[in-house]
Structure 1
Amino acid sequence: MSDDILFSDATKLAELVRTKEVSPVEIMRAHLDRIATVDPRVNAIVTVVDGALDAAKAAEQAVMSSDALGPLHGVPFTVKDSIDTAGVLTQRGSPLFQGRVPDTDATSVARMKAAGGILLAKTNLPEFSYWIESDNLLSGRSNNPWDLTRTPGGSSGGESAAIAAGMSPIGLGTDLAISVRGPAAQTGITSMKATHGRVPMTGIWPRAPRRFWHVGPMARSVRDIALAFSLLAGPDGQDAFATSTAAFDAGIGRQPYRQLRVGWMVGPGFGPVDPEVVATVKAAADALKQWGVFVEQVGIPALERDFALDVFNRLHVMEMKPAFRQATAGRRPDELYKMAKTMLSLPDTSMDDFIDAEQAVERLRDGYADYFSRYDALITHVLPIPAHKHGVEEFTIDGQTVDATYLQGATVPLNLTGLPGLAMRFGTSKEGLPISVQIVGKWQAESTILHVASLLEAISPVRGLRPAL
């Protein structure tokens, strides 16, 4: 029964609680035991919430008293340690914030709790959520449950590893350029970065700038992502980007009123891609034809004109350096890890380059708008390679040598443009590692990409696979 609990999705666990087949206390104890057994090798968890078991007992009493139950009643969830949690350590992966305990929950955490979810633990990340590996001076390096010598990604790598390893059924991460989708791809789970502003960033560092930042759900099923998003979306009166009140429709199981049109691409415009990854993207696209979806290979010329990763770098260095300077003012160099030192050492972008990059973002948005005037969704890769070994900062991909930032080639365009994207596994490398695809939709079209993802999930060749820990 313990394995059934640990690898059931959050939707199933909530159903078992409502029908009194399993108690919230059983669920919580199973996950606490799993953390104690597995996490010493994975190092995904940085703080276990002291009152989690007591909260489960209170949730059990509510069930027995026939109280009204929320859609996640009695279900544990975990949260990346950059997201504020009231009364629980939130240290942002840095000795600079060691011992920091917020007074209030981030909006996203408060909404998960309001739905009946129980905060179980906080998860590891790179310093300040800034890198593609989850490693820092405060809580060390997280490992990939599929191969402990490899990374679970960054910056939400602790979250992805915890969910993949059965230590959590569902959780929250943040995404600036890759950080919920990349880690999900490296560990074989599912995640979604919604349209920018759909989910408030209130209670997440940095407060400014945040025009490219997102908070998003991470889980093991598409329906869990849809459920979490339905709870998280909507303005909170504090994040001025979060203004959309558009009704949300998960789209799962519904029949479209016309044939869906989906394109797929792995470039040009994303950088080099490993042939195994290309084959997985094509296989996912072809699989949709079984559902009567029109599918064809496409290109987006705007991505070839303006390389999104270069555009992002020129903009974001200028935007983020003030936040880094403020956070690190007066601190000793030995208190800073790799990315803070790197960010502070980078030269400022010239004003001409900054303005050109701003205009490039508009060209990219226009290019995607043109594409989505003809298609409902786009399928790409998430990462150009499967999960890599720890500490590697240069890769040879399909004969081309690139630095580690190129892993963001297919994800960062969505942060620049604000488009929604969902990552889900659809393949396996020759080394037994997950390979995922990214499903992209037009602005506010989360229901469409969730629908497409549910079709792929139903026929996925890797459904139900789990790491052997």
Structure 2
Amino acid sequence: MKNDLFFQDATALAELIRTNELSPVEVMQAHLDRIAAVNPKVNAIVTVADEALKFAKAAEAAVLAGDELGPLHGVPFTVKDSIDTAGVLTQRGSPIFKDRRPDTDATSVARMKKAGGILLAKTNLPEFSYWIESDNLLSGRSNNPWDLTRTPGGSSGGESAAIASGMSPIGLGTDLAISVRGPAAQTGITSMKATHGRVPMTGIWPRAPRRFWHVGPMARSVRDIALAFSILSGPDGKDAFASSTVQFDAGMGRAPARPLRVGWMVGPGFGPVDPEVAATVKAAADALKDQGVFVEHVGIPALERDFALDVFNKLHVMEMKPAFAAATAGRSQDELYKMAKTMLSLPDTSMQDFIEAEQAAERLRDGYADYFTRYDALITHVLPISAHKHGVESFVIDGQTVDATYLQGATVPLNVTGLPGLAMRFGTSKEGMPINVQVVGAWQAESTILNVASLLEAVSPVRNLHPTL
């Protein structure tokens, strides 16, 4: 057990702690030792919580005393460094926020702690959580544990790399257009961006444009994602978007009384897709069909009419650029890295373009709503390629040259529409890199996509694979 303890999922660790088969101190020390061993290569962890072992000892005492235990009692968790953690550095990947220590926890962190989780560490990200690679002037570049010459993605790339390499069993990331699902795909873990508003964004920066931002769990199993979501979801009285009162079952999710109906697609409407990735999506669809699910190839015309990435770009620049300007006002250019400079240099969206983009966003929402009158879920790719080399800014995908923003083609529609999406591994590229698929659901249909994901996980050809470091 000790040799592979750091690759146990959070649910298993919680059960072993609850039954006194493992001590929270033993679990915490195993992860601290793992960080010491592999983080110098991966650079996913930027700050270790000073009192992690102290809280592990308190958790151990609670078990021995027979106290009532939460569902994550004694389990370490990590948090992206844009999410506030009381008394623990939260520096947002920028020298502008160097040495910043918040007074209070973000709502999501507080809820993980209330469930018994113990904050282990903070994880790396791009400057201001804004790019598809996790690199910044303050804490440097994170590497993919499957191949250190490749990226673990962004903006929750440090979180994905930490979990994939066994430095953490479970954690929190944020997602504006790709940022929990893309990094999960690049490192072969599991993550979920729930319906917008299901998990409060309180204590997370930037919040503009908050209608596109999400915070979500990242882990190595579907059951961990389900457990974390049941802990994280619900209003907090501070984030006005977080107003849902719909209850959620922390089990594997609920299937409808009738047979499931699932569509699958890799386009058109998402941009070019590598044939290996497309084949993995089809393999996932076939695996569901083999389990008695009704599955067919589909299209969503709204995605062909309005390219969601273009819609998103016109909308979010108008709202996010002022937040960047306010944060950087009066600061030296030497304190700014690539993406802050890029965002500040972008031309403003004209009011006409903004209004047209808003109307396009409505058409996209209507298009998905129409689709979900006939199907329970949708299977797509997460990324059009597997994890790429560091610093690449354009790609040739299926014969078409595109810039790096096109990696968001299949993820950003869910930020524009607010729909839930779960990323999970189901394949491997010829270069040995993970390939994930995305399970998409209707508004507040997290139970359904968790059910579909659990069916896929049970037959996954790549389940329980871990990088060797």
TM range (shorter): over 0.9
Equivalent residue number for residue 47 of structure 2:
47
Counterpart CA distance in 2 for 1:416 and 1:44 is 29
Residue type of the partner of 2:417?
A: T
Could you tell me how far 1:290 is from its partner in structure 2?
2.0
Could you tell me how far 1:291 is from its partner in structure 2?
1.7
Equivalent residue number for residue 342 of structure 1:
342
Counterpart CA distance in 2 for 1:255 and 1:417 is 23
Counterpart CA distance in 2 for 1:239 and 1:206 is 13
Residue type of the partner of 1:409?
A: G
Listed as ranges, the matches of 1:128-207 within 5 Å are 128-207=128-207
Equivalent residue number for residue 402 of structure 1:
402
Ranges in structure 1 where 5+ consecutive residues have no aligned partner: none
Could you tell me how far 1:209 is from its partner in structure 2?
2.7
- After superposition, the C-alpha distances for 1:144-176 in whole angstroms (9 at most, x for unaligned) are 000000000000000000000000000000000
Ranges in structure 2 where 5+ consecutive residues have no aligned partner: none
Does the 8 Å CA contact 1:143/1:150 hold for their aligned counterparts? yes
Does the 8 Å CA contact 1:251/1:451 hold for their aligned counterparts? no
Could you tell me how far 1:255 is from its partner in structure 2?
5.4
Look up the SS of the partner of 1:67 in the other structure. Answer: coil
Counterpart CA distance in 1 for 2:110 and 2:254 is 30
**Is 1:423 aligned to residue 444 of structure 2?**
no
Equivalent residue number for residue 332 of structure 2:
332
Counterpart CA distance in 2 for 1:429 and 1:417 is 30
**Is 1:321 aligned to residue 321 of structure 2?**
yes
Does the 8 Å CA contact 1:107/1:201 hold for their aligned counterparts? yes
Look up the SS of the partner of 1:406 in the other structure. Answer: helix
When the two chains are superposed, the root-mean-square deviation of aligned CA atoms in Å is 0.8
Look up the SS of the partner of 2:349 in the other structure. Answer: coil
Residue type of the partner of 1:185?
A: A
Normalised to the residue count of structure 1, the TM-score between the two structures is 0.99
Does the 8 Å CA contact 1:250/1:451 hold for their aligned counterparts? no
Counterpart CA distance in 2 for 1:456 and 1:207 is 34
Could you tell me how far 1:250 is from its partner in structure 2?
4.3
- After superposition, the C-alpha distances for 1:94-151 in whole angstroms (9 at most, x for unaligned) are 0000000000000000000000000000000000000000000000000000000000
Counterpart CA distance in 2 for 1:468 and 1:397 is 28
- After superposition, the C-alpha distances for 1:172-229 in whole angstroms (9 at most, x for unaligned) are 0000000000000000000000000000000001233301000000000000000000
Runs of 4+ with >6 A deviation = none
Counterpart CA distance in 1 for 2:270 and 2:207 is 29
Equivalent residue number for residue 284 of structure 2:
284
Normalised to the residue count of structure 2, the TM-score between the two structures is 0.99
- After superposition, the C-alpha distances for 1:259-306 in whole angstroms (9 at most, x for unaligned) are 100000000000000000000000000100122100000000000000
Listed as ranges, the matches of 1:316-465 within 5 Å are 316-465=316-465
Does the 8 Å CA contact 2:72/2:115 hold for their aligned counterparts? yes
Equivalent residue number for residue 29 of structure 1:
29
Equivalent residue number for residue 62 of structure 2:
62
Look up the SS of the partner of 1:53 in the other structure. Answer: helix
- After superposition, the C-alpha distances for 1:14-39 in whole angstroms (9 at most, x for unaligned) are 00000000000000000000000000
Counterpart CA distance in 1 for 2:261 and 2:310 is 30
Equivalent residue number for residue 19 of structure 1:
19
Counterpart CA distance in 2 for 1:2 and 1:149 is 29
Counterpart CA distance in 2 for 1:220 and 1:82 is 22
Could you tell me how far 1:4 is from its partner in structure 2?
2.8
Does the 8 Å CA contact 1:69/1:116 hold for their aligned counterparts? yes
Could you tell me how far 1:251 is from its partner in structure 2?
5.7
- After superposition, the C-alpha distances for 1:446-468 in whole angstroms (9 at most, x for unaligned) are 00000000000000000011001
Equivalent residue number for residue 303 of structure 2:
303
Does the 8 Å CA contact 2:263/2:375 hold for their aligned counterparts? yes
Return closer, same or farther for 1:449/1:251 CA change in 2, 3 Å cut-off: farther
Counterpart CA distance in 1 for 2:205 and 2:51 is 25
Counterpart CA distance in 2 for 1:253 and 1:109 is 23
Aligned length: 469
Counterpart CA distance in 2 for 1:24 and 1:251 is 24
Equivalent residue number for residue 71 of structure 1:
71
Counterpart CA distance in 1 for 2:54 and 2:61 is 11
Counterpart CA distance in 2 for 1:26 and 1:190 is 25
Return closer, same or farther for 1:254/1:365 CA change in 2, 3 Å cut-off: closer
Equivalent residue number for residue 87 of structure 1:
87
